Amino acid sequence: MKGVSYKRFGGSEVLEYGELPEPKLSQNAVIVRMMAAAINPADVALQAGFGESFMETWFPVVPGWDLAGIVERVGAGVIEFQPGDEVIAYTHQEILHSGTYAELVSVPVERLWRKPRNASWGEAAGLPLAGLTAYRSVVDTLRVSDADVVLVLGASGAVGSLATQLAVGSGATVIGSASVSHQNYVTSIGALPIQYGDDVAEQVRKHAPAGVTAIVDCAGHGSLATAMAVAIPGARVCSIADGGPGVTTVFARPDTRILARLVDLVEAGSLNVKVAVSFALADAAIAQDALKERSRQPGKIVLVPDITR
């Protein structure tokens, strides 16, 4: 099969495209033919060696954790899925080795859920990691309700846009920060847009003079420290990027309970994944470079099988 891998840590230049061994099928796993695989900042960070101190790495590494595809084969112990099923998965493992930048991917059955019927392959692939992170932030951690005024930092990003939609769906008033070029997108997903900058607190107070009851930091780079000035006493705060006193750090983790809820929300039309651009699997290095461009349009960057380019 064709796939992308790397044999040493580094940037996009270490990625190699070519023939890889087909994955083995264990009793409680399925083989999925990849129809789309989303690229995430975590892929790039781990590839650069960021996780070397806390994750085992077995080279060569196939990067990627997000997947949408079609079940090809099922293990002897799998009754939940059958060949032909359309599925999504967050394939995170504690060992960096087998990922989703490949035509075929072996996935433990507990990491799989059915694909949203009304989503494209690219949209479906962009849902798992970002959706799991956003849901754990807004619903499980902050427990946002219609009584809240929520500030989402990085509201046009992959996680931030889903966090914004989840908060809006809860009935909360949502203020979202984004770059100048992404203001219209933030408005389109139901938030009151503000721009990045040192005057974030002043901009927030124009919409919420009394302050905000919850903050979801999806931007990092110290933006949370500035935004804390508008948090009321007792405000709940979480971040996917920065920590600190009173801040709960949130990471994605495999959870089919949440995946099921996310799929239901997509099918109900209350949650949408935006795809910015798709690249062929062979162009994974170019796709990773595109991820670093802050001026790009909002949405996920996804890889698709080369036959569809």
Does residue 256 fall inside a structural domain? Answer: no
Buried/exposed code over 127-152 (b: 16+ C-beta within 10 A; e: otherwise): bbbbbbbbbbbbbebbebeeebbbbb
| Structure confidence by residue, pLDDT tens digits, 100-109 | 999 999 999 9
Does residue 165 fall inside a structural domain? Answer: yes
Residue 66's nearest CA partner among 83, 45, 41 is 41
CATH of the domain at 79: 3.90.180.10
Residue 90's nearest CA partner among 290, 301, 257 is 257
C-alpha 300/C-alpha 273 separation (Å) is: 8
Are 120 and 138 contained in the same domain?
Answer: no
Residue 103's nearest CA partner among 21, 216, 184, 164 is 21
Does residue 258 fall inside a structural domain? Answer: no
| Structure confidence by residue, pLDDT tens digits, 108-163 | 999 999 999 999 999 999 999 999 999 999 999 999 999 999 999 999 999 999 99
**Tokens standing for residue 243:** 């920590």
| Structure confidence by residue, pLDDT tens digits, 37-93 | 999 999 999 999 999 999 999 999 999 999 999 999 999 999 999 999 999 999 999
Does residue 97 fall inside a structural domain? Answer: yes
Q: Considering its fold, how many domains does the chain have in total?
A: 2
Bridge partners, 231 (sequence order): 212
**Tokens standing for residue 267:** 């099918």
Are 94 and 143 contained in the same domain?
Answer: no
Contact at 8 Å (CB) between 280 and 264?
no
Are 26 and 75 contained in the same domain?
Answer: yes
Using the structure block, give the residue that is written with the tokens 């979801």: 216
Task: Please count the other Cβ atoms lying within 10 Å of the Cβ belonging to residue 107.
Answer: 23
- The confidence band for 221, taking pLDDT boundaries of 50, 70 and 90, is confident
C-alpha 282/C-alpha 101 separation (Å) is: 9
User: What amino acid is encoded at 261 in this protein?
Assistant: R
Does residue 264 fall inside a structural domain? Answer: no
Contact at 8 Å (CB) between 111 and 119?
no
Q: Is the pLDDT of residue 25 over 70?
A: yes
Are 134 and 213 contained in the same domain?
Answer: yes
**Tokens standing for residue 251:** 């990471």
Q: What is the mean pLDDT of the chain?
A: 96
Rounded to whole angstroms, the maximal C-alpha distance in the chain is 60
Are 101 and 60 contained in the same domain?
Answer: yes
Contact at 8 Å (CB) between 161 and 274?
yes
Are 12 and 40 contained in the same domain?
Answer: yes
Does residue 261 fall inside a structural domain? Answer: no
> What mean pLDDT comes out for the span 256-261?
98
C-alpha 22/C-alpha 3 separation (Å) is: 10
Task: Please count the other Cβ atoms lying within 10 Å of the Cβ belonging to residue 23.
Answer: 18
Rounded to two decimals, the pTM is: 0.96
Give the strand pairing for 86-90 and 66-74: antiparallel
**Tokens standing for residue 160:** 């931030």
CATH of the domain at 170: 3.40.50.720
Are 176 and 98 contained in the same domain?
Answer: no
Bridge partners, 214 (sequence order): 150, 236
Are 83 and 106 contained in the same domain?
Answer: yes
Length of the chain counted residue by residue? 309
Contact at 8 Å (CB) between 186 and 299?
no
3-state SS, residue 44:
helix
Are 120 and 230 contained in the same domain?
Answer: no
Range of the domain at 34: 2-127+273-308
Is 18 exposed, middle or buried, given 0-12, 13-18 or 19+ CB atoms closer than 10 A?
exposed
Are 8 and 122 contained in the same domain?
Answer: yes
Instruction: Give residue 244's pLDDT.
Output: 86
Q: Is the pLDDT of residue 308 over 60?
A: no
Does residue 245 fall inside a structural domain? Answer: yes
